[in-house]
Chain A
Amino acid sequence: MTSVNPYLFFHIFIVTIMLFVMGFYCIFFTFNLVRALIGVELLIKAVTLLIITAGYVTGHMALAQAIVITLIVVEVVFIVVATGVVIGLHGHNGTLDTRKLRNLKG
């Protein structure tokens, strides 16, 4: 393992935070169910990047890879179930608009 350029890690850290801002903005400012899930996916991408970088920087690359593989499996199952719920909601409401979700309150 070659020596790591510390500045590169710093840039990756900044990029991760930028992706976080995008993801949370996407979740909170959209009125579309699918787009909210896409925001969640973007956040998971940011976390994946962070874990891989952490493994590279600390020299525990193998452990980081093992973790990310499990993470990807979990992510896929999560997305499948979530899209199932979205399709079910669409079947009831006929729309993907979150503003129609007013049946329950807080």
Chain B
Amino acid sequence: MQINYTLNLFILVILVAAGLWTVMTRSLIRSAIGLALTSVILTLLMFRFDSWLVTVFELSVCAGLISVIFISTISLTEPLTKSEVLKHMKARLARFIYLPLLILVVGVGLSFIKVNLNFQLPVAEIEADARKVLWNMRDLDLLGQVVIIMTGIFGVIVLFREMRRK
């Protein structure tokens, strides 16, 4: 139990570090990679919390697909050249230098708060299998997923395909 706890704590620390790197790094590509890294670490945490089904989705979709989308967007829009990046960097640093400090203050400040941590709820009649819950209880969500995926398809048609024709 003690080892588990320490391990989880360690994962949390590197999660924060990855998030911070995502925000602070100066190149957009690295920022997108940092996002994927954050996603992977989140997946680790989910794995530790026994959510097997979600880990697959998070790893393939969030860490994989979304970083592909971001990186292709960045390369499509031709990011700045090296010298321009260096020029922008100073101004960026002036704006973002306070963030780690802010994060530290937030973390330390919050750890002094006392909260009631007893969230255990009765687990009597609920399903234990996520697949059954998804299909039997959350079927309206599934319908919503179908609608939203269709919307996404038409979004791609409208925003990307007609653009190329122009």
Contact = CB atoms under 8 A, between A and B. Distances in A.
Q: Check whether chain A touches chain B (CB < 8 angstroms).
A: yes
Contact of B127 (A22, A29, A54, A62): A62
Contacts of B156: 80, 84
Interface string B12-23: 100110011011
Contacts, number: 218
Interface string A1-26: 10011111111111101110111011
Interface string B52-81: 011001100110011001100110110100
A7 B12 CA distance: 13
B68 to A, nearest CB: 11
B110 interface: yes
A49 to B, nearest CB: 6
A35 B142 CA distance: 31
B49 to A, nearest CB: 5
A18 B148 contact: no
Q: Is the interface of A mostly helix, strand, loop or mixed?
A: helix
A74 B73 contact: no
Given A8-B8, A18-B107, A72-B61, A63 B49 contact: no
Nearest to A80: B152
A54 to B, nearest CB: 8
Interface of A: 1, 4-15, 17-19, 21-23, 25-26, 29, 32, 34-35, 37-39, 41-42, 45, 48-49, 52-70, 72-77, 79-81, 83-88, 90-91, 96
12 contacts: A8-B5, A18-B19, A22-B19, A34-B28, A38-B31, A42-B19, A45-B35, A49-B42, A57-B120, A59-B123, A61-B49, A66-B141
The 9 closest A-B pairs by CB, nearest first: A84-B159, A77-B152, A65-B130, A6-B117, A66-B134, A59-B123, A62-B130, A62-B133, A90-B77
